[in-house]
Structure 1
Amino acid sequence: MSPWTDSASAHGSIVDPASRSYGCWERWGSDHLNPAMEQEDPMCWQAFRANPNTMWNWMSLFRENLAGNWQSAIPNGKLCSAGDAQGGLATSLDNPGPWTTTNVGSNFSVELYDTARHGADFFEVYVTKQGFDPTTEALGWDDLELVEETGSYAPAERISFDVSAPGRSGHHIVYTIWQASHLDQTYFICSDVNFT
């Protein structure tokens, strides 16, 4: 299976550190019925059981016409599904648990893959505060600290930029807000990381 499927070709997502839906698709998309997933990757297992379309359409966690009013549109506990952006089908992404992490240091890069080449008005990158536990707590706005706000980027298939989030260790969530340039379309993306 090619990592860039036509079913999700109209949009984009963070692929490094891997978003929850992209990571599940990357690891299990060609083998999503494998019972070993339940033990090896239980959060992806529950997500695939809830709705495989969440992973097939890993580029589709966006909302339109929010005019920057994100916190009023996306309630606490629903940040990773972008407030049920896929009509309630992606709510499995909000579930706390042992999501597979990407190892990062205090300084790391965030990479967007965007087949539609929307460009960006800006990115905002948040990281959970030290003491937040993604394995037991659903993500809320108050759990996040803004660590990077970028300027605009011209349309490109891949956009990468550096962020710094010192003073953390262990499992955290990187929460990326990508304001696409082609219209008021905003993406909300959870990536699980392990600060080493």
Structure 2
Amino acid sequence: MSHHVNSHARTPRRRWAPHLLTLLFATLLGLIPWTGTASAHGSVVDPASRNYGCWLRWGSDHLNPAMQQQDPMCWQAWRADPNAMWNWNGLYRNGVGGNHQAAIPNGQLCSGGRTEGGRYNALDAVGPWKTTNVGGNFTVKLYDQASHGADYFQVYVTRQGFNPATQSLSWSDLQLVAQTGRYAPSQNYAIDVRTSGYTGHHIVYTIWKASHMDQTYYLCSDVNFG
């Protein structure tokens, strides 16, 4: 299987000391207001969530005009709200109580129901998002910066025939492929996924119910089943 690994090991957080990272962000961007009960959260890093993938590819080169032609979905997301990428780890909702479909309307799944004042709305945009190559069996890797832990993970894949490049994502388009129990607080989680019959571009949709409070993350990753 062809499997492109996007790991938090590639991020500046792993290459630089934390105080240098903070200084760099403050110098380049000013202070970014983090929300919630902690200044660090998490996301799926492999296959990369939409905004984490954009940050991975363009975070150090976000002024490059080539982004518009080479990565048009990231380009439109950067233009809509750069903080969707700089805050790639903050796409969550509080107080959902497990009633995900009531909290997140169809067409808004990748933005967590336009959470955080609409910061992530551009992630719902329909189009040719960059994909990570996966096989029928693959592993979802999530980086939890704040070690929140997990009550559970739910991993879905869009049904065969759904086209993320032309169709808006609805709950009815998703098929559950993995459901987990609790995970103790850590910074790295791995969820093994076994599938069959999928080919082409799909969305892997991961729901992460954190353990530290009623806080749930809704994460779209674009994949290509070879």
TM interval, shorter chain, is: over 0.9
**2:84 is aligned with what amino acid?**
T
Alpha-carbon offset, residue 88 of structure 1: 1.1
Work out the CA distance in 2 between the residues paired with 1:84 and 1:141. Answer: 15
**Paired residues for 1:45-64 under 5 Å:** 45-64=75-94
**One of 119, 124, 136 as aligned partner of 2:166:** 136
Work out the CA distance in 2 between the residues paired with 1:86 and 1:104. Answer: 30
**Map of 1:17 onto structure 2:** 47
2:192 matches 1:162:
yes
Instruction: Check the 8 A contact 1:19/1:191 in 2, yes or no.
Output: yes
TM-score by length of 2: 0.84
**One of 95, 101, 104 as aligned partner of 2:134:** 104
Q: Which moved more, 1:21-30 or 1:158-167?
A: 158-167
2:225 matches 1:195:
yes
Work out the CA distance in 1 between the residues paired with 2:196 and 2:167. Answer: 22
> Which 4+ residue blocks in structure 1 deviate beyond 4 angstroms?
3-9
Q: 1:96 to 1:3 in 2, by over 3 A?
A: farther
Between structures 1 and 2, the one with greater strand share:
1
TM-score by length of 1: 0.97
Work out the CA distance in 1 between the residues paired with 2:108 and 2:102. Answer: 12
Q: Which moved more, 1:166-175 or 1:9-18?
A: 9-18
User: Once the two structures are superposed, what CA deviation does each residue of 1:66-90 show, in whole Å capped at 9, x if it has no partner?
Assistant: 1111111110000000001121121
2:108 matches 1:78:
yes
**Map of 1:41 onto structure 2:** 71
**Map of 2:3 onto structure 1:** none
Work out the CA distance in 1 between the residues paired with 2:103 and 2:150. Answer: 21
Between structures 1 and 2, the one with greater helix share:
2
Alpha-carbon offset, residue 3 of structure 1: 4.5
> What SS class does the counterpart of residue 34 from structure 1 fall into?
coil
**Map of 1:118 onto structure 2:** 148
**Map of 2:124 onto structure 1:** 94
Q: How many residues align?
A: 196
**Map of 2:97 onto structure 1:** 67
Structure 2 unaligned blocks of 5 or more: 1-10, 15-20, 23-31
Q: Percent identity?
A: 64
Structure 1 unaligned blocks of 5 or more: none
